[in-house]
């Protein structure tokens, strides 16, 4: 049974992954190049666990134990002993391949090397290693402590054993798994949300409807928990654009072509909740 998990990247996704792993009983090493990011991540995890305690979804002693299971470090070398590593850094292939080249060199034989990418082909990331059979997509959804889904993605050389171990890990941390058997950019979920979000942006851009009304239509008409533009603001408009571009660059289909509006928003720094302005205004 996998006992130690390492999470590379302490942003919104990485901190959430670290939290659910610690709650499930794993010892977790959370790594980031920035000490400030690690401090924010620990604060975020502490606040999240406190909300779960307040809602009686976890006991206070168990929340305290989960926090104790998480250690933080700025040194990537400190993840070397992990049985499973989940990379959760920015959606740029060159950034990820640099990390996986290092993981390949330092991690023990047989360690599962997972990537939380939402769009970049797993095979492209695995190519940076000498053990592509151990590399698998483990795509969590935001906010990780709340969302039940994990999308497991098989690269061209991902072994059955790696996929089975990743499934066991995801289910142990309380997630329901779907498996993507063909390694296409965007997998299943990002292709679906990209097509919907880009069309929603086009409708706003052309003045057909407001962001609020489009999101309301998706929530009440389709039963979505959040509308696509609310989701983009929560995830990060820049992250949504990067994920969409990964799909568009491969598919070259007009459904995924990003409208000018989202490009201008990213250029202007209107990235959603994290900057206070996106499709909605969060300044208050």
Nearest to 3, CA basis, from 128, 108, 77: 108
Beta strands in 128-233 (DSSP E): 135-140, 149-154, 176-180
Between CA 14 and CA 140 the distance in angstroms is 10
Pairing of strands 176-180, 149-154: parallel
Whole-number pLDDT of residue 52: 97
Whole-number pLDDT of residue 108: 96
pLDDT band at 2 (very low <50, low <70, confident <90, very high): low
Angle, vertex CA 176, rays to CA 172 and CA 178, nearest 5: 120
Whole-number pLDDT of residue 185: 86
Percent residues over pLDDT 70 in the chain: 99
Whole-number pLDDT of residue 235: 87
Whole-number pLDDT of residue 6: 98
Tokens 């790696």 belong to which residue?
A: 162
Nearest to 114, CA basis, from 139, 148, 93: 139
Whole-number pLDDT of residue 91: 86
- Segment 22-51 shows an average pLDDT of 97
> pTM value?
0.88
Domains of the chain: 4-180 (3.40.50.720), 190-267 (1.10.1040.50)
pLDDT in tens, 144-197: 999 999 999 999 999 999 999 999 999 999 999 999 999 998 899 999 999 999
Residue 101 above 90 pLDDT?
Answer: yes
Between CA 221 and CA 10 the distance in angstroms is 36
pLDDT band at 3 (very low <50, low <70, confident <90, very high): confident
Residue 68 above 90 pLDDT?
Answer: yes
pLDDT band at 255 (very low <50, low <70, confident <90, very high): very high
Residue 261 above 70 pLDDT?
Answer: yes
Between CA 172 and CA 167 the distance in angstroms is 8
pLDDT in tens, 39-53: 999 999 999 999 999
Beta strands in the chain (DSSP E): 4-8, 27-31, 70-73, 84-87, 112-115, 135-140, 149-154, 176-180
Residue 1 above 70 pLDDT?
Answer: no
pLDDT in tens, 222-234: 999 999 999 999 9
Helices of type H across 55-208: 60-68, 93-106, 122-126, 160-172, 189-205
Whole-number pLDDT of residue 23: 98
């Amino acid at each position: 049974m996998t006992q130690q998990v390492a999470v590379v990247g302490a942003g919104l996704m990485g901190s959430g992954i670290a939290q659910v792993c610690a709650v499930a009983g794993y010892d977790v090493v959370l790594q980031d190049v920035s000490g400030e990011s690690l401090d924010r991540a620990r604060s975020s995890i502490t606040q999240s666990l406190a909300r779960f305690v307040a809602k009686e979804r976890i006991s206070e002693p168990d929340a305290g134990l989960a926090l104790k299971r998480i250690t933080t470090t700025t040194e990537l070398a400190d993840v070397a002993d992990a049985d499973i590593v989940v990379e959760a850094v920015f959606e740029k292939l060159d950034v990820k391949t640099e990390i996986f080249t290092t993981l390949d060199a330092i991690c023990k034989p047989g360690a599962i090397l997972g990537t939380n990418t939402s769009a970049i082909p797993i095979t492209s990331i695995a190519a940076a290693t000498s053990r592509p059979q151990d590399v698998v997509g483990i795509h969590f959804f935001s906010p990780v402590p709340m969302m039940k889904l994990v999308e497991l993605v098989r690269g061209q050389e991902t072994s059955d054993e790696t996929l089975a171990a990743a499934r066991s890990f995801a289910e142990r941390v309380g997630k329901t798994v779907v498996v993507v058997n063909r390694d296409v950019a965007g997998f299943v979920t990002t292709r679906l949300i990209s097509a919907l979000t880009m069309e929603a942006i086009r409708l706003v851009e052309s003045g057909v409807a407001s962001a609020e009304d489009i999101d309301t239509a998706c929530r009440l008409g389709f039963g979505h928990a959040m509308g696509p533009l609310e989701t983009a603001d929560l995830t990060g408009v820049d992250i949504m654009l990067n994920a969409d571009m990964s799909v568009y660059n491969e598919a070259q289909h007009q459904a995924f072509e990003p409208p000018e509006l989202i490009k201008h928003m990213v250029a202007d720094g209107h990235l959603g909740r994290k900057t206070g302005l996106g499709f909605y205004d969060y300044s208050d």
